Amino acid sequence: MFNELEERQDFIVIKGRHKKAMKCDSHSVSGSVSQRACVYSGARVVLNPIADAVHLVHGPIGCAAYTWDIRGSLSSGSELYRRSFCTDLKERDIVFGGNERLAAAIDKLVQLYAPKLIFVYATCVVGVIGDDLEAVCKAASSKYGIDVIPVQSSGFMGNKAAGYRAACDALLKLIEPVNTDNIGKSRSINYLGDFNLAAETWIISNYFRSIGIEINAVLTGDSEYAKLKKTTDACLNIVQCAGSMNYLAHKLNDLYGMPYIDVSFLGIQDTSESLRKVAAFFNDDDIILKTEEMIKSQTAKANQAIERYKHHLCGKKAAIYVGGGFKAISLLKQFREIGIDVVMIGTQNGQPHEYDTLQELADEGVIIVDDANTSELEQFILEKGADILVGGVKERFLAYKLGVAFIDHNHNRKHPLSGYEGAVNFAKEVYSTVCSPVWKYALDQGGDSAR
Partner 1 sequence: MTERKNLVVNPVKTCQPLGAVLACLGIHGCMPHSHGSQGCASYLRMQLSRHFREFIPTTTSSFSEAQVVFGGSGNLKQAIRNIIHIYKPQAIGVSTTCSAETIGDDAEGIIAEMRGSGELPEDVVIFTASTPSYKGSHVTGFASMVKSAVDSIAVKGAANDKINIIPGMISPGDIREIKRLLALMGIKAIIMPDISGVLDAPMTGKLKLYQDGGTPLEEIADMANSSITFALGQEASLPAALGLEEKHGVSAEMLPLPIGIENTDRFIMELSRISGKPVPAQLEEERGRLVDMMLDAHAHWYGKKAAIYGDPDIVEGITAMAVGLGIEPLYVLTGTKSNRWEETVKTIAPNAHVINGGDLLTLKDLMKEQPVDIMLGNSHGKFLAKEMDMPLIRVGFPILDRANLQHFPVVGYSGAAWLAERIGNTLLDWKDAHVPDHMLELIM
Q: Which of residues 361-400 bind partner 1 (CB under 8 A)?
A: 374-375, 378, 392-394, 396-398, 400
From 121-129, 208-216, 234-242, 294-302, span contacting partner 1 (CB under 8 A): 121-129
* Cis bond upstream, residue 220 (ω within 30): yes
Burial class (CB in 10 A: 0-12, 13-18, 19+), 91: exposed
Shortest Cβ distance from residue 324 to partner 1 (Å)?
A: 15
Per the CB < 8 A criterion, the answer to whether 154 and 123 are in contact is yes
- Among positions 146-185, residues that touch partner 1 (CB under 8 A) are 155-159
**What is the distance, to the nearest Å, from the Cα of residue 329 to the centroid of all Cα atoms in its chain?**
13
Residue number, 354 or 395, with CB nearest to partner 1: 395
Shortest Cβ distance from residue 371 to partner 1 (Å)?
A: 10
Residue number, 121 or 191, with CB nearest to partner 1: 121
- Residue 422 binds partner 1 (CB under 8 A): no
Residue 236, CA distances (Å) to 54, 191, 337, 446 in order: 28, 9, 30, 54
- Among positions 244-273, residues that touch partner 1 (CB under 8 A) are none
Q: Cα(124)–Cα(145) distance, rounded to whole angstroms?
A: 29
Residue 20, CA distances (Å) to 10, 11, 29, 243, 391 in order: 9, 10, 21, 22, 25
Q: Cα(114)–Cα(412) distance, rounded to whole angstroms?
A: 30
- Residue 110 binds partner 1 (CB under 8 A): no
From 13-21, 64-72, 189-197, 313-321, span contacting partner 1 (CB under 8 A): 64-72
Shortest Cβ distance from residue 106 to partner 1 (Å)?
A: 9
Q: What are the strands, taking DSSP E only, across 361-400?
A: 367-370, 388-391
Among 23, 82, 415, 428, the residue binding partner 1 under the rule CB under 8 A is 82
Shortest Cβ distance from residue 378 to partner 1 (Å)?
A: 5
- Residue 125 binds partner 1 (CB under 8 A): yes
- Residue 64 binds partner 1 (CB under 8 A): yes
CA atoms within 13 A on the CB side of 273: 13
Shortest Cβ distance from residue 238 to partner 1 (Å)?
A: 30
Look at residue 32 and give its three-state secondary structure: coil
- Residue 37 binds partner 1 (CB under 8 A): yes
Sheet with 260-262, strands from edge to edge, namely 215-220, 189-194, 236-239, 260-262
Dihedral sign of CA atoms 268, 265, 305, 406 in order: negative
- Residue 349 binds partner 1 (CB under 8 A): no
Q: Cα(145)–Cα(377) distance, rounded to whole angstroms?
A: 50
Q: In which element (H, E) is residue 151 found?
A: strand 147-151
Q: Cα(307)–Cα(424) distance, rounded to whole angstroms?
A: 9
Look at residue 259 and give its three-state secondary structure: coil
From 45-53, 54-62, 188-196, 351-359, span contacting partner 1 (CB under 8 A): 54-62
- Residue 96 binds partner 1 (CB under 8 A): no
Among 9, 16, 21, 65, the residue binding partner 1 under the rule CB under 8 A is 65
Among 49, 59, 193, 243, the residue binding partner 1 under the rule CB under 8 A is 59
- Among positions 276-305, residues that touch partner 1 (CB under 8 A) are none
- Residue 437 binds partner 1 (CB under 8 A): no
First vs last Cα of the chain: how many Å apart?
A: 17
- Residue 446 binds partner 1 (CB under 8 A): yes
Residue number, 85 or 420, with CB nearest to partner 1: 85
Among 89, 189, 275, 367, the residue binding partner 1 under the rule CB under 8 A is 89
Q: In which element (H, E) is residue 278 found?
A: helix 268-282
Among 14, 129, 139, 288, the residue binding partner 1 under the rule CB under 8 A is 129
- Residue 28 binds partner 1 (CB under 8 A): yes
Task: Tell me the helix, strand and coil percentages in the chain, rounded to 5.
Answer: 50, 15, 35
Among 403, 416, 419, 422, the residue binding partner 1 under the rule CB under 8 A is 403
- Residue 3 binds partner 1 (CB under 8 A): yes
Among 53, 109, 239, 313, the residue binding partner 1 under the rule CB under 8 A is 109
Q: In which element (H, E) is residue 319 found?
A: strand 317-322
From 124-132, 143-151, 194-202, 362-370, span contacting partner 1 (CB under 8 A): 124-132
Per the CB < 8 A criterion, the answer to whether 312 and 434 are in contact is yes
Question: How many residues at the interface with partner 1, by CB under 8 A?
Answer: 81
Residue number, 357 or 449, with CB nearest to partner 1: 449
